[in-house]
């Protein structure tokens, strides 16, 4: 199961520069886009930090885990507000289709928020070392894979999921959102 987090983290790392590259609109003339990009960079850095701890590429520190999880939670809470009408489409990387599919976009943002809040709650009580109950084991608890949820799968309670699995689901939702609502900006 750690392999899935590694794959998701690798996808985020490889896509990160592409997904988070400053748009042509960023700068003094477009503070909304610049703030949104800064927020996305914070989320990506926090996710990479947590993934690194679970992958053993970074030392696990409960305080660093909590700080990164709190960043994900805080930034996820502001996601929908960071994509107001009029800030979408070129030169921003946010596709104008966000407005056409606003309910779907907001549902994804809320789901990321619920998962990030649960992860932050778990990080608030993080033990001194990564324990077995923090690890993702067995089949995915949401009935899905990196390719998406299986039809008819029910949503498990995030509060009952291991921290590593919550991170995996957050990365999965981020990937899904970016594939639907993010465009390349050159």
Q: Per-residue pLDDT averaged across 23-29, rounded?
A: 41
| For residues 54-81, average pLDDT | 97
Handedness of CA 124, 129, 130, 132 (dihedral sign): negative
Residues 48, 13: contact at Cβ < 8 Å? yes
Count CB neighbours of 170 within 10 A: 28
| Contact between 98 and 88 (Cβ < 8 Å) | yes
pLDDT at 55 over 70: yes
Q: What is the model's pLDDT at position 73?
A: 97
- Whether the CA torsion 99, 171, 59, 119 is positive or negative: it is positive
Class of domain 2-181: mainly alpha
Q: Which residue has the higher pLDDT, 17 or 181?
A: 181
Residue 57 Cα distances to 86, 103, 161, 169, 178, angstroms: 41, 37, 23, 20, 26
Mean pLDDT of 31-38: 91
Position 19 confidence tier, pLDDT thresholds 50, 70, 90? very low
Q: Is the pLDDT of residue 4 over 70?
A: no
The predicted pLDDT at position 86 comes to 82
Q: Give CA–CA dist 142/156, Å, rounded.
A: 6
Which tens digits make up the pLDDT trace of 122-158? 999 999 999 999 999 865 544 444 445 444 445 689 9
- How large is the average pLDDT for residues 34-53? 96
Predicted TM-score (pTM) of this structure: 0.78
- The model's pLDDT over 98-127, given as tens digits with 9 standing for 90+, comes to 999 999 999 999 999 999 999 999 999 999
Over 60: is that where the pLDDT of 54 sits?
A: yes
Mean per-residue pLDDT of the chain: 82
């Amino acid at each position: 199961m750690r392999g899935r987090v590694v794959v998701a983290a690798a996808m985020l790392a490889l896509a990160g520069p592409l997904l988070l590259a400053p748009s042509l609109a960023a700068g003094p003339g477009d503070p909304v886009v610049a703030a949104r990009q800064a927020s996305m960079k914070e989320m990506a850095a926090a996710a990479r930090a947590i993934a690194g701890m679970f992958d053993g590429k970074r030392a696990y520190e409960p305080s660093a885990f909590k700080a990164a999880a709190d960043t994900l939670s805080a930034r996820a809470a502001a996601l929908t507000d960071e994509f107001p009408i009029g800030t979408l489409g070129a030169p921003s990387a946010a596709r104008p289709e966000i407005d056409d599919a606003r309910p779907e976009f907001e549902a994804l943002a809320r789901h990321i928020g619920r998962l990030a809040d649960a992860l932050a709650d778990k990080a608030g009580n993080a033990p001194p070392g990564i324990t077995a109950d923090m690890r993702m084991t067995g089949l995915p608890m949401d009935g899905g894979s990196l390719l998406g949820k299986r039809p008819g799968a029910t949503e498990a309670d995030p509060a009952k999921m291991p921290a590593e699995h919550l991170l995996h689901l957050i990365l999965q939702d981020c990937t899904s959102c970016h594939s639907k609502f993010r465009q390349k900006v050159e």
